[in-house]
Amino acid sequence: MAPDTSNLDPVVLELGHLFALAGFELSLVGGPVRDLFLGRVSPDLDFTTNATPDEILAVANGWADSHWEMGRAFGTIGFRKRNRNKEILLLEVTTYRAEAYDPDSRKPAVAFGTSLEEDLSRRDFTTNAMALRLPTLELLDPHNGAADLAAGVLRTPGTPEQSFSDDPLRMMRAARFASQLGLTLHPEVSRAMTEMAGRIAIISAERVRDELVKLICGAHPRAGIDILVETGLADLVLPEVPALKLETDEHHRHKDVYEHSLQVLEQAVALETGPDGPVPGPDFVLRFAALMHDVGKPKTRRFEPGGAVSFRHHDLVGAKLSSKRMKTLRFDNESIKAVSRLVELHMRFYGYGDAGWSDSAVRRYVTDAGPYLERLHRLTRSDVTTRNQRKADRLSFAYDDLQARIDVLAQNEELNSIRPDLDGGAIMSMLGLKPGPVVGRAYRFLLELRMEEGPIEHDAAEAALRLWWAQQPEAQAKESAPEEVQLGDSQQFQSQQNRNNS
């Protein structure tokens, strides 16, 4: 089995010639070589060489468009190079190296190696321990990575114990490659991961997060999650998911929540759209919300009289748990907000399926979902995993009806940006108020009116606001207070009241 080098960018060979002319070795290595066997083109290109970082810069600095040295301490120099199609390629060239983690340190102790063979022996998996010597394109595969790739098996060049000791994050990568490439773990790899799962604790939350995102966004995320759970890694990096494996219920009073969640994840993936659609895949937010949507169930499970099982408010509890976990993993605020909001809202539709909604309830659904509405559509549809076809059809028809009503209302109203019919400035001018909490209450009243009634005429909105204002205690106090009392300045108002009382 040989790699298909026909799609290899000429830039790769150009760089190989430069290093050869300078008297140095250079090889394309790792993922880019693996992807050549898979008929894929890697956007990022990794190289290894016997040149030192200073020598790497001396060879390629005048050839590349620009460079960066953030990885210099690890022997890596990065380059940007525009190819013949004017596309920008990212290239990283690293000195042959060997590295190992101190048992109590998150940072690798870097030592430069002396040969390509030594460098390959310290790589994570055999499928990534292949190299193409440049510019000759000679394949070096000392650990049979091509055969393992063909067999769909993930092995390590040396013992898995040594590999995972060198870098515990490789255990997360194993699960990620199962998701991305559909590979299965060699039994020795699986056993070592189970025995060494605790070593993941020395890895920073950011590095764990990045691997988790790649896993979730892979072609087979369910396989990757299963590996994390089966090896015990999930107990440390995503404990809410294995907690879904509620103890077996001999009376089968509720479905397997873990398996249900994985099925919802798969169904959500199937509902992603192409690049021009509303939810282009892979969409991490939708997928992670699907995985986490029921994580509130273990904490809310109750056995009711008569044998029923309830999970009241598991949506709210799950939203909080999802947010807390994502904060621990150092996710950005927008991703945290999006996932937790979807988890919080995933049960909202079932009230519609049971009894139908007024137009105001539909408006609230759209407003509460905000920019996540399209994802909520897909999450809600994915959450139907019943084997009862009649029930599944009923829920599907009900959601079809809800989406149709949303579309109709959207044609008549600006549902995506529902605002009161009067803004804050108009409220203050009309009622003679200064900025303060009373204005906020008036705004919320008008927003509620907008939800209930839809768009109304300006005069009608003013009349409704005046009627509301007449019923507020501040309005009555303002009428009875001297003119110098300014509503909205609570201290001045209280002072005047004290003078009146005295």
Q: How far apart are alpha carbons 151 and 146 in whole angstroms?
A: 9
Could you tell me the domains of the chain? Answer: 1-144 (3.30.460.10), 152-238 (1.10.110.30), 266-414 (no CATH), 424-501 (no CATH)
| Alpha-carbon distances of 80 from 43, 86, 247, 420, rounded to whole Å | 12, 12, 53, 51
The strand pairing partners of 140, in sequence order, are 131
pLDDT digits (tens, 9 = 90+) for 202-246: 999 999 999 999 999 999 999 999 999 999 999 999 999 999 997
Characterize the bridge pairing of strands 153-154 and 26-29: unpaired
The yes-or-no verdict on residue 491 having pLDDT over 60 is no
The yes-or-no verdict on residue 55 having pLDDT over 80 is yes
Residues 6+ apart with CB under 8 A from 152: 182, 183, 184
Angle at 57 between CA 55 and CA 62, to 5 degrees: 125
Q: Read off the pLDDT of each residue in 86-99 and give the average, rounded to a whole number.
A: 89
Q: Read off the pLDDT of each residue in 113-136 and give the average, rounded to a whole number.
A: 94
Q: At what angle do helices 424-431 and 437-453 cross, to 10 degrees?
A: 110
User: Which pLDDT score is estimated for 473?
Assistant: 82
More confident residue, 441 or 487: 441
Region of 23 on the Ramachandran plot (φ > 0 left; ψ -120 to 50 alpha; else beta)? left
pLDDT digits (tens, 9 = 90+) for 360-385: 888 889 888 989 999 999 999 999 99
User: Which pLDDT score is estimated for 486?
Assistant: 43
pLDDT digits (tens, 9 = 90+) for 272-286: 999 999 999 999 999
Q: How far apart are alpha carbons 198 and 242 in whole angstroms?
A: 16
